[in-house]
Every structure is written in structure tokens, then in C-alpha cells.
A and B are shown apart, each in its own frame.
Chain A
């Protein structure tokens, strides 16, 4: 019983922290170290992103993707020209009740809406 009493007393003594007059200074030091850590982290992430970007661009340039893209672009332009030649005059853009700008704006808005919906969905997840 005496042991239990003493242990309770010891618990109480340990629970009483000593007074530190420099406690506010200590809190500031912790804050400074947190700041330093975050700044360093941001710098490292930024640097890694930059290095990754440079490596990615270099890889793209060296793999000849641009040449292939040029080829695909030329091929698709040729296909579109062929299609336009085959299509009846009624389906041509100038024949639509709205202008080509409106069509592009609608496509842009649709892409924005899709992006917004995706962002919300990711947040929900």
C-alpha cells in the first residue's frame, strides 16, 4: 500500500514540469526549425522537378518523337482533306447555324467542365 502511495506521489511529482523562463524562445526555435525544414523540402522538390523535366525533355528530343508527331500530323491533315473532299457540302462548318469559334468555345468549355469534375472526384476519393 505504501509502495502504491509512493508511486502515485512519484507520478504526481513527474507530472509537475519545472518552470523554464525561456519557454517562448524555445517555441520560436521549434518554429524556425519547422520553417527551415519546409523551405528545404520545397527547394528539394523544386530542384527534383526541374531535373526531372530537363531529363524528360531530353528523352523526348532524343527519341525522335517530334519527327513522329510531324509525320502523324501530316497524315491526319491529309486524311481530313480527303474526308472534306468526300463530305457533302451541307456538313461543312460554314453551313452550320453557328460559327467555328462557337464550336471551339464549346469544346474548350467541355474540357474545362471535365477537368473540374475530375478534380472534384479526386478530392472526394
Chain B
């Protein structure tokens, strides 16, 4: 596995590459890493990991993926499969470090809407996710970023299903407000009697 890749591998489908990797082809797995590393690293950062931790865990996820690649049958997308491995690694780390009380129903304090009304911010998912509590952020990322069902998230977090659902609901409400189209957000602000900034 080097910086470059052969044309045959570059044009191969993920399922073919995974089959080759399962047979021990490291260049094939390298191509999969090249294709999907950004998605995995991005997901981990969106879940709340800092850059260094996200990169470490993404590497761990790919190493684990190489060990388990024979289990990938191609029923879903490879990216979803490897993202789920990475997400579960991050959740395990959170639980180990006990940094987030994922059982907590109480919303954690979060920064106010910085730059409310700024059009550019409204479409930035990464900025919007920062407005959520850690638990909401993890639950939303697991559901929409890693493609886990509410029940799977509850199992991964070892939290009651109802708690997960309420974190997702609250997170969605906040994101909806934050990511609303400019016009709609301003209208809502005006209806609510709030001043609309710049």
C-alpha cells in the first residue's frame, strides 16, 4: 500500500476490493482506505472527537476493518460498514473515559447561537453539531452519520431506547432550527418576535 494505486484497483468496485483484501491483498485494502478515510475521519469529528483522537480511532477502525474484512459480504456499502466500526470504537472510548453521561436526560448547557442569522453558518453541519449536547451529538451522528437504528444506538451506548429517542428528537429540533434555510429562519425569528441580525 503506497501513495499511488494501480489503475485496476482504482477502477474496481468496493466489494471487489474487499474480496481481494479478504484474500490478503494489502494494496486493495489501501485503495479502500484512500476512498473512505475522509468519511470515517469526518464522522468521528462530527461525533465530537478532537482531530488527533479522530485520526487515531479512524486508523484503529481501518486496522480492525482489515482483520474483519472477510465478514463484509457487500450487502451494504463498505463505507457504512467501516463507519459503524469507527463509531462503535468512539462510543467504547467515551464509555471507557466516562466523559459523557449518555444516560443523562438533562440537556447539557451549550453555547448560544453564535452568528444567528449568518447565512453561511446555517448550512454548515459541523458548526451546527457543536450546538448540541455531547449525548445529542453522539446519538444524531450514530443515527444519521453511521446509519444505526435507534435500537442499535441504545445497544451501543448501553442506554435505554427512550433516552436515545429523546436525545435524537432534541438534537433534531436544534439542528432544524440551526440549519433552516435563511428565509425560513428569519421568518420564524420575526414570528417569534426575535430581532433578526444581519
Are A26 and B55 closer than 8 Å at their CB atoms? yes
CA distance A33 to B26 in the complex (A): 12
CB distance from B69 to the nearest CB of A (A): 12
CB distance from A9 to the nearest CB of B (A): 8
Query: What number of B residues sit within 8 Å (CB to CB) of A?
Result: 32
Are A14 and B3 closer than 8 Å at their CB atoms? no
Measured CB to CB, the nearest residue on chain A to B67 is: A37
Measured CB to CB, the nearest residue on chain A to B27 is: A31
Are B144 and A30 closer than 8 Å at their CB atoms? no
Q: Indicate if A101 sits at the interface (CB-CB under 8 A).
A: no
A33 touches which one: B43, B59, B145, B172 (CB < 8 A)?
B59
Measured CB to CB, the nearest residue on chain B to A24 is: B3
CB distance from B19 to the nearest CB of A (A): 18
Are B41 and A10 closer than 8 Å at their CB atoms? no
A6 cross-chain contacts in B, Cβ below 8 A: 172, 175-176, 179
For A1-42 the 0/1 string (1 means CB < 8 A from B) is 001001101110110011110011011111101100100000
B144 cross-chain contacts in A, Cβ below 8 A: 7, 10-11, 14
Q: How many A-B residue pairs have CB under 8 A?
A: 80
CA distance A18 to B62 in the complex (A): 18
Decide: A31 near B26, CB < 8 A? Known: A7-B144, A13-B125, A14-B144: yes
The stretch of B32-40, B89-97, B154-162, B190-198 in contact with A is: B32-40
Are B46 and A31 closer than 8 Å at their CB atoms? no
Q: Indicate if B11 sits at the interface (CB-CB under 8 A).
A: no
Decide: A26 near B37, CB < 8 A? Known: A31-B26, A31-B30: yes
Are A14 and B145 closer than 8 Å at their CB atoms? yes
Decide: A23 near B37, CB < 8 A? Known: A7-B172, A18-B45: yes
CA distance A31 to B43 in the complex (A): 21
B39 cross-chain contacts in A, Cβ below 8 A: 17
Are B175 and A10 closer than 8 Å at their CB atoms? yes
CB distance from A25 to the nearest CB of B (A): 9
B1 touches which one: A20, A27, A37 (CB < 8 A)?
A27
Taking CB atoms and an 8 Å cut-off, the chain B residues in 33-85 that contact chain A are 33-34, 37-39, 41-43, 45-46, 55, 58-59, 62-63, 66
* Interface hub of A13, A19, A20, A30 (most chain B Cβ within 10 A): A30
Decide: A37 near B63, CB < 8 A? Known: A18-B45, A24-B3: yes
A10 cross-chain contacts in B, Cβ below 8 A: 125, 140, 144, 172, 175, 179
Measured CB to CB, the nearest residue on chain B to A10 is: B144
CB distance from A33 to the nearest CB of B (A): 6
Q: Indicate if B126 sits at the interface (CB-CB under 8 A).
A: yes
A18 touches which one: B3, B126, B141 (CB < 8 A)?
B126
B30 cross-chain contacts in A, Cβ below 8 A: 27, 30-31
CB distance from B80 to the nearest CB of A (A): 10
Taking CB atoms and an 8 Å cut-off, the chain B residues in 146-189 that contact chain A are 172, 175-176, 179
